[in-house]
């Protein structure tokens, strides 16, 4: 059985020279800034140098995926954290924004082949958002940073697991050679 990096080490650290990007919505700036500050502190405890966090601000949550993709395409960044807030309103606007952002960020992760972390709060009220964003509450910023470190460790482990085997896939071990 292969163990995940998290089960092997309670606090994985980042390799030297790792750089991480962050997309930060300025809508509800106080809460988004609080999430970024917590993430920054958590990444520092994992070994990230202060200058190795690249932050780009966007006006709102809907703009996050485009900039996450731009950062994700950069070869010098290992992961991208995304911070924003979508509050429920009187219409279904929040549902459409949150759905578009979450689905597109998942697509961006696959396109860029790197972790794109979802730190976009989708709350009914500002009080719920505060309870999730601030360090005195759920501390989503710290959670997203931990997920970034864990995802990078898991990706590195996935690239190494079973590497000693000559071939992988359905046809290996069946004596069929390089069948299609």
Active-site positions? 93
Sheet holding 79-87, edge to edge: 53-58, 20-25, 79-87, 116-123
Dmax over CA atoms of the chain, in Å, equals 63
Contact of 115 with 68, CB cutoff 8 Å: no
Two tokens at 178? 């390089």
Annotate 4-21 with DSSP letters as a single string. Answer: PHHHH-SS--PPTT--EE
């Amino acid at each position: 059985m292969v163990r995940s990096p998290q089960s092997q080490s309670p606090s994985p650290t980042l390799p030297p020279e790792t750089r991480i990007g962050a997309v930060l919505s300025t809508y509800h700036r106080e809460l988004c800034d609080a999430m970024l500050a917590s993430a920054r502190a958590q990444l520092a405890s994992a070994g990230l140098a202060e200058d190795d966090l690249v932050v780009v601000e966007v006006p709102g949550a809907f703009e996050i995926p485009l900039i996450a993709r731009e950062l994700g395409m950069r070869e010098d960044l290992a992961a991208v954290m995304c911070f924003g807030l979508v509050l429920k309103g009187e219409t279904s606007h929040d549902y459409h924004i949150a759905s578009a952002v979450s689905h597109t960020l998942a697509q961006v992760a696959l396109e860029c082949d790197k972790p794109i972390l979802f730190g976009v709060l989708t709350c009914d009220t500002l009080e719920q958002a505060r309870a999730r964003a601030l360090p005195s509450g759920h501390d989503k910023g710290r959670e997203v940073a931990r997920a970034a470190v864990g995802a990078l460790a898991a990706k590195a482990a996935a690239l190494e697991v079973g590497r000693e085997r000559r071939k992988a896939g359905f046809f290996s071990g069946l004596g069929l050679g390089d069948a299609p």
